[in-house]
Structures are given as C-alpha cells and as structure tokens.
C-alpha cells in the first residue's frame, strides 16, 4: 500500500469494526 | 345502471377488498416479525460472503489509481457508506410518511430501526472521507458543501432518534416522522452539492445519467461492496423487526 497504507487500513479497520460491533449489539439487544 | 355494470362494479370492489385484506395481512406485525426472523440469517451469510469478496478484490486485485495511488482504495468503504446514508434516509422518510398517512405500524418500526444504522453509515462516510482528505487535500476537514450537507444529515438522524426518545411513545413516533419528512429536502442538496457548487469534493463517481467516471476494474468491487452494505442494512432491520 506504500505511503498511504496507514490511511487505507485505518479506514477499513474503523468501518469493519463499527459495522461488526453494531451488528453484535443489535443481535444481543433483540435476542 | 344495467345488471352487467352492477356485477362488474361488485366484482371489481371484491378484488380491491381482497387485495387490501391480503396486503394488510402481509404487513401485519406478526407476519413481518416471522418473515424477518427467517430472513436475517440468510442476509447475514450473504452479506459476509459478498463483503469479504469485495474487500479482497478491492484491496488486492483492483489496480491502483494513477494519481492517488493506493489511497483511492478508501472509496471501497467511503462510497458505500455515503450511498447507504442517503438510501437509509430515503427509506426512513418513506416509512415515516407511510406511518403518518396509513398508520402502518411496521413502517414506523422500519423507520425507528433505520435511524441508528443510518447515523452509523453517515458517521463512517464522514470519518473515512476525512481519512482520505488528509493525504489528498492536506486537511482532515473543510466546510465544503458536500461535507457540510452530509454532516447535517448526521444531525438529522441524531435529531430523529433524540426527538423520538424524548417524547412519549405515540407522540414521539408522530413528531419524529414529521422531522424525517421535512429533512428529506437535504437529500438532493447532498447529491447535487458537487454539481451546484464549486466544491473541493470531487464530482459524482456513479450517476444514473452518465457513464461511470471510474474504470470497470475498479467499479465492480465497488458495486459489490454497495450490495454487501445494502444486505447489512437489511439484516440490521430484520434483526430489530423479528421480535416486535
């Protein structure tokens, strides 16, 4: 990813983490 | 009126009545809850598969941009988040209008379930756009028309949730539905902001009326990612509808 790796991986990481955590939260809240 | 005309009207009103009854049964809270309880695992699995394929494709197999290098790969999360933020608001406002006009309870539940996930997509669009903006524009944030209107969308989602929770159940549902309908004016402003004003944000990548401003080798993983995000949204809504 060259010089921009940190930007690419951080944006991917934040997105996947937020979506995953919210999915888990909704699953347990509505269980 | 002749006998045949009377028969025609009678049979016609019978069809209308049957359709109305069928539709009322179809969207009844129990029926929807059952459907959602069966649908969400399939939505979850297909979403995981599609997002995994799109991520690997976009990150490792799509070619890098000749100007932005690998930084352009942020679009694989930024564009789907931004697209879904607008789509979710449209669904929320349409559901709110259906609730106000026809008092469809399921529509109100869909609007209620959509608001937090819409706020999450808007937040992610702003954050990932900001992370892209730092290396490309040299700044994390600028009061550009596209960025500002997207920030207003986040406030609309948060306002909807706050208004709903602050008031008693029925009044909150009605008041927040009106807010969702009024806020829909922001959607064309966001979409056309890059056309109407001279913004720092680039023009539309995908448009209904023009050839995409992106090569197909980069476009296909992006479209796949958008599909994955739509399935994620559907999964979240089904999870919340299943026990209501």
Cα-Cα-Cα-Cα torsion B11, B15, B21, B23, nearest 10 degrees, comes to -170
pLDDT over threshold 90, residue B225? yes
Chain B residues near residue A18 by CB distance under 8 angstroms: 120, 123-124
- pLDDT per residue as tens digits for the range B157-216: 999 999 999 999 999 999 999 999 999 999 999 998 888 888 888 777 666 556 667 788
Residue range B76-100, pLDDT digits in tens:
999 999 999 999 999 999 999 999 9
* Nearest Cα to Cα of residue B228 among B40, B35, B55: B55
Burial class (CB in 10 A: 0-12, 13-18, 19+), B56: exposed
Name which residue leads in pLDDT, B62 or A3.
Answer: B62
Rounded to whole angstroms, what are the CA distances from B147 to A26, B69, B127, B167? Answer: 28, 23, 11, 31
**pLDDT tens for each residue of A1-31:** 667 889 999 999 999 999 999 999 999 999 8
pLDDT, position B15: 84
What value does the mean pLDDT take over residues B6-20? 73
**Cβ separation of A12 and B132 shorter than 8 Å?**
no
Average pLDDT, stretch B140-166? 95
Check if B137 contacts A (Cβ < 8 Å).
Answer: no
Does the distance separating the beta carbons of B124 and A14 come in below 8 Å? yes
Quickly list DSSP for B176-234: HHHHHHHGGGHHHHHHHHHHHS--SS---SS-SSS--SS-HHHHHHHHHHHHHHHHHHH
Q: Give me the pLDDT at residue A2, please.
A: 65
CB atoms within 10 A of CB B31: 13
pLDDT of B195 reads 84
- How many A/B residue pairs have CB atoms within 8 Å? 66
Q: Among all residues of chain B, which has the CA nearest to that of A8? A: B74
Q: Which chain A residues in 8-27 lie under 8 Å from chain B, judged by CB atoms?
A: 8, 10-12, 14-15, 18-19, 22-23, 26-27
Nearest to B131 among A2, A7, A22 (CB): A7
Rounded distance between C-alpha atoms, residue B124 and residue B112, angstroms: 20
Q: Is the pLDDT of residue B66 over 90?
A: no
Nearest chain A Cα distance for residue B100, angstroms: 26
- Mean pLDDT in chain B? 90
- Give residues with Cβ within 8 angstroms of A20, minimum separation 6: none
The confidence score (pLDDT) of residue B52 equals 97
Which one has a higher pLDDT value, B10 or B169?
B169
Q: Which residue of A has its CA nearest to B235?
A: A23
CB contact under 8 A, B135 and A7: yes
Q: Which pTM was predicted? A: 0.90
Q: Which pLDDT band, with edges at 50, 70 and 90, does B4 fall under?
A: low
Cβ-contact B103, B149 below 8 angstroms: no
Place B239 in a pLDDT band, splitting at 50, 70 and 90: very high
B240 and A CB contact within 8 Å:
yes
């Amino acid at each position: 990813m060259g010089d921009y790796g940190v930007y690419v991986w951080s944006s991917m990481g934040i997105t996947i983490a937020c979506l995953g955590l919210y999915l888990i939260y909704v699953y347990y809240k509505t269980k | 009126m002749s006998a045949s005309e009377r028969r025609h009207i009678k049979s016609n009103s019978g069809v209308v009545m049957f359709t109305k009854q069928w539709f009322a049964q179809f969207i009844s809270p129990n029926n929807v809850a059952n459907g959602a309880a069966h649908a969400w695992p399939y939505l979850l699995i297909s979403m995981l598969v599609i997002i995994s394929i799109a991520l690997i494709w976009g990150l490792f197999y799509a070619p890098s941009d000749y100007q932005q290098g690998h930084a352009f790969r942020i679009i694989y999360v930024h564009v789907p988040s931004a697209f879904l933020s607008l789509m979710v608001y449209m669904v929320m406002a349409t559901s709110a209008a259906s609730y106000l006009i026809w008092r469809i309870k399921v529509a109100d539940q869909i609007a209620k379930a959509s608001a937090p996930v819409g706020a999450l997509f808007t937040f992610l669009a702003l954050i990932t756009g900001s992370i892209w903006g730092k290396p490309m524009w040299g700044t994390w944030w600028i009061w550009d028309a596209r960025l500002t209107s997207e920030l207003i969308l986040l406030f609309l989602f948060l306002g909807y949730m706050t208004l709903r929770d602050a008031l008693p159940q029925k009044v909150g549902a009605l008041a927040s539905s009106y807010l969702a309908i009024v806020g829909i004016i922001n959607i064309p402003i966001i979409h056309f902001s890059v056309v109407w004003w001279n913004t720092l944000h680039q023009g539309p990548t995908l448009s209904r009326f023009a050839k995409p401003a992106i090569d197909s080798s980069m476009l296909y993983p992006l479209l796949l990612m958008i599909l994955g995000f739509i399935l994620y949204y559907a999964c979240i809504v089904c999870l919340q509808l299943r026990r209501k």
